[in-house]
A and B are shown apart, each in its own frame.
Chain A
Amino acid sequence: MTEPTTPLMQQYHAVKKQQPAALLLFRLGDFYELFYDDAVVASRILQITLTARNKEKGQAVPMCGVPYHAAENYIARLIRAGHKVAICEQMEVPGPGKKIVRREVIRVLTPGTATGAGLVEAKENNYLAAVARSAGTGGAAVASGASAGRAGARISDSVIGLAFVDLSTGEFRATEFSGDKAEVRLRDELGILRPREVLLARPATLFPVTMPAEMDGLGAVETRLDDWVFEANYATRILEEHFRVAALEGFGLVGHSAIGARTPEDSAVIPSLRPAGAGLEHLDRISYYEQQEAMILDAVTVRNLELVEPAAGDDASATLLRAIDDTATGMGARLLRGWILRPEISLQEIEARLDAVAELKSQTVVREEIRKTLEGILDLERLTSRVTLGVATPRDLLALRGSLDRVPALRQLLATAFASASSNSSASSTPESDASRLSCLREELDEMADVRDTIARGIADDPPALPGDPGVIRRGYDAELDELHDITKKGRQIILPCPAILA
């Protein structure tokens, strides 16, 4: 690349240097422009014309651009294609006498930190994962990995930690792998989770040998963070601050490692979300789990059996997921996908589910009623996350209420199903579980009368799309507001003379 000559391109290169891994959308007037390789990549994904900026010493600079007012849609497509996107804005108004306006990167969007409706798949989780290795013989092994290379990373008693979060639903879990098959098991787990983005410590000591074939297909963006972010001390402090707890024992994170270090990688998730501007209040718990709690299906098997994605050349409907997914809700679809990728190995759990399926199968009328009721329920997990993130619109709240309004009916239907089923299903139910799965689920269903009431009283029937616009709050919710409304209405009538005498 030749040395840029114009001030503008010098500025571009300075900004790009800070964001080498992201596609840089560089604001120029009414357009976001991309240059060089970014332009080539983006033009292919977005199907927009690749042009050239010819002024660089006569050498063509590939360039393409999208109008700023339509940028959200284009950005969403870049994110969904698995790219990071950095948005560089003009920070001052151009005017006479100013040679060049100041520009700064104001947002960096990544596949793992995106939460917008256009950015994540409704029926899939959008995981951001962090992987870290804590070495048995001291952290130096990780730090020295860059220079020592392969030799430095071969530590048999190291523990690999994995944490992952779905910002759109608030799910936050962690596990760890040890022993000589730790790397294989990590790959298996990543193959199942299919994170959109993986956070790794810089330098790359995680996979000392060449990446195995199954990692190629993961399609995850890699983000490198400084290795101190993965240090256990830092991790503990960050998590304790985040969850506002004095110790992490309550989350089951402690004592899982032979060397006494807890999973250090969780911390990396939290700081890395900050630059993305994501609100984290809804990540209110983290849970530890063991990979062995499920039947293991490695990435090769998931692909070979076409469990969730068709093989190359096969019809999209050729997957097990498509064949058995007739769920009514986005949450149900995501759970089904999770169950396919992590079948149970607990006989008790399996039998509890089978009992429930048997009951529902035999009770056709109740089942179809439940199904109809479920069909009106929107994605409560993601609506809840939008509420806790502070980005829920008035219409989101109405959707939340409309969905919750169906919960009492579900409870009623389950009561019916359970009452009649308990009398004749004793033969097949497992002795360990006193209550059937359906009655447990009924107990778990909270009618949320308080929340429904708040929304019903507070939010107008046909509110504007954005919370900042007038008319969000329902009449009768707040006396002061009602009175003010009257005042402004009357005030206008009084102040505004009839149109005929308007000048």
Chain B
Amino acid sequence: MPNPEGMVFVVDDDASVRESLRGLLRSAGLGVTTYATAQEFLGGPRADGPSCLVLDVELPGLSGLDLQHRMTEVNLEIPIIFITGHGDVPTSVRAMKAGAVEFLTKPFVDDDLLTAIHEAIRRDGAARRQQAGMSELRDRYQSLTPREREVMGRVVAGLLNKQVAAQLGTSEITVKVHRGQVMKKMQARSLADLVRMSERLGRYTKV
């Protein structure tokens, strides 16, 4: 099913709510997949593109909040919009603190829901792009040899080639060659670029 606007997963145990949401979201041009339980959703396929989850708080078995918790545990990062029949403050605070995009009480205004969904899909898109950039960066880093990683760690820490050579017990020429390889493999245009990448990778090699 083509979903130009994005994909929405709906988890609600009530058939009326599920079907009405499917209708509404389709009328807004969104792709929809509905599930009656949290377990079904966990077992279901994920979306390739930007997506979000419209999740009922009161679900039989695994509740909405439990599912949110479980998703964090298994690194399933889909923005969540909670819907509930009777929203109480503690629950909504818990949900929002755990990173929910929005917390809506049934029956909700369609615009509120659609605004929240578009916001969630935008966030997911951004996260996906960042994720994709990140994984590419990791791939590049993975392609470095252990020696090149050692050199990179010291270079981004601000050491001169001479100092690096001294620390690693090799010649300055060899370090220069390694450094050239690092710049090429990491596709860094400048030393500053390499430092930024290193920061994003979250690796600060010991000097």
Are the chains A and B members of one assembly? Answer: no
The interface of chain B, by Cβ under 8 A from chain A, is: none
